[in-house]
Amino acid sequence: GTIAQALREALETGALDIALQPQFSIADGTHTGFEALARWRGRDPEISPVDFIPVAEETGLIVPLGRHVLDRSLAAARRMWDAGLDPGVVAVNVAAAQLKSLCFVDTVATLLKEHDLPARILEIEVTENVLLGRSSERIERCLRCLQDMGVAIALDDFGTGHASLAHLKRVPVDRLKIDRSFVAGIGERTDDEVIVRTVVSLAHALGKTVVAEGVQTEAQRRFLAELACDVGQGFLVSRPLTPDAAQSYLRDLA
Ligand code: G
Ligand code: G
Ligand code: NA
Ligand code: MN
């Protein structure tokens, strides 16, 4: 369709870029890293990744697009390091089709080398549903390979997909990201509070860290701090920023 064609052109012309959203320690507010989010610049009205990522997945464009996002994310981290700033861990969303392609681990290793960055700078975010398809065994092997390299693995939108606790036991995952729909209910709905409390406790009992998404209020942060939730992300601290603005953000913290 037309979106697919325009997306292909956007990849070629450099119109596809990233935004970086800061992540922070729930306990003391210190910076811990960024999540990289794909952005399609120069389109009016703007098209959200919620709309163009599915098109990219259907057309196979997600493989070059995902590589581009990874490359831009590492380039941004490199530039921060070169400016004497510490970006922390940069989390990049990766789709099933990328993990299925046999060369994904090589792509990651090559890009880390090109940008002269250690593997520990990088986190790969996957959704639960990535673990369910026909290629789940291959994908799990790929994730384990990345983990062995020193790349962290995060399970995104946790609690909204179709994975079971058996998956959680088996798959190589270092952290859980609590979906923002649950965080939004803190202070509003007892059921959301119970779910958040239970996910933090489950993650910690399994030796994993927890990121709360969509933290918008100080009251939500305080609730999460009482649970010893590790990391937060959300409008309370910052919206997603252009790479330049993210660098200024880090400089202003120092
Ligand atoms: O910032 P926000 O509207 O930008 O992101 C919307 C959704 O799109 C999120 O669920 C996010 O995980 C997903 N997304 C954003 N960037 C990427 C990307 O580079 N790759 C994949 N696979 N998903 C992305
Ligand atoms: O989960 P995905 O990986 O789905 O999450 C990133 C999306 O969440 C992006 O669209 C980002 O702009 C959005 N987002 C980030 N922080 C907040 C927040 O505090 N509130 C809301 N409503 N959305 C947020
Ligand atoms: Na994400
Ligand atoms: Mn998410």
How far is ligand 3, taken at its centre, from the CA of residue 62, in Å?
15
Q: Categorize the per-residue pLDDT at 170 as very low, low, confident or very high, splitting at 50, 70 and 90.
A: confident
Residue in 126, 213, 218 to alter for ligand 2 test, most ligand atoms within 8 A of Cβ: 213
With a cut of 90, say whether residue 167 has pLDDT above it.
no
How far is Cα 246 from Cα 86, in angstroms, rounded to an integer? 11
Better-scored residue on pLDDT, 1 or 43: 43
**By percentage, how much of the chain surpasses pLDDT 70?**
100
- With a 6 Å cutoff on the Cβ, whether 48 touches ligand 1 is yes
What pLDDT, on a 0 to 100 scale, did the predictor assign at position 74?
Answer: 98
pLDDT reading at 102 higher than 80:
no
HEC string for 19-54: EEEEEEECCCCCEEEEEEEEEECCCCCCCCHHHHHH
Domain ranges across the chain: 2-253
Q: Is the CB of 157 under 6 A from ligand 2?
A: yes
Q: How many helices (H) and strands (E) does the chain have?
A: 11, 8
Atom of ligand 2 nearest to the CA of 50: 10
Give, using CA atoms, the residue closest to atom 1 of ligand 1. Answer: 37
Q: Does residue 70's CB lie within 6 angstroms of at least one atom of ligand 1? A: no
State yes or no: pLDDT of 84 exceeds 90.
yes
CA distance 247 to 250: 5
Q: Quick one: average pLDDT of 209-217?
A: 98
pLDDT for the residue numbered 162:
86
Q: What is the pTM for the complete model shown?
A: 0.97
* Rounded mean pLDDT, 150-175: 92
3-state secondary structure of 116: coil
Interacting residues of 115 by C-beta distance below 8 A, sequence separation 6+ = 74, 75, 77, 78
Ligand 1 atom at shortest distance from the alpha carbon of 98: 22
Rounded CA separation 222/38 (Å):
30
Average pLDDT over residues 212-237: 98
Q: Which residue has the tokens 């058996």?
A: 166
Q: How far is the CA of 151 from the centre of ligand 2 (A)?
A: 23
- Name which of 122, 72, 120 is nearest 246 in CA terms: 72
Atom of ligand 1 nearest to the CA of 127: 12
| Span from the CA of 210 to the centroid of ligand 4 (angstroms) | 12
Quote ipTM for the complex.
0.95
Poorest-confidence range of 65-74, 96-105, 222-231? 96-105
How far the first Cα of the chain sits from its last, in Å, is: 47
Measured in residues, the chain has a length of 254
Average pLDDT over residues 232-250: 98
Q: Is the CB of 38 under 6 A from ligand 1?
A: yes
pLDDT tens-digit series, residues 29-68: 999 999 999 999 988 889 999 999 999 999 999 999 999 9
CA 197 – CA 226 distance, rounded (Å): 10
pLDDT band at 230, cuts 50/70/90?
A: very high
Task: Report the separation in Å between the CA atom of 93 and the middle of ligand 1, taken as the mean of its atom positions.
Answer: 7
State the CATH architecture for 2-253: Alpha-Beta Barrel (3.20)
pLDDT at 165 over 90: no
- Whole-angstrom Cα distance, residue 62 to residue 74? 18
Structure tokens at 159: 């609690």
**What sign does the dihedral 184-186-191-192 (CA atoms) show?**
positive
Q: Is the pLDDT of residue 1 over 80?
A: no
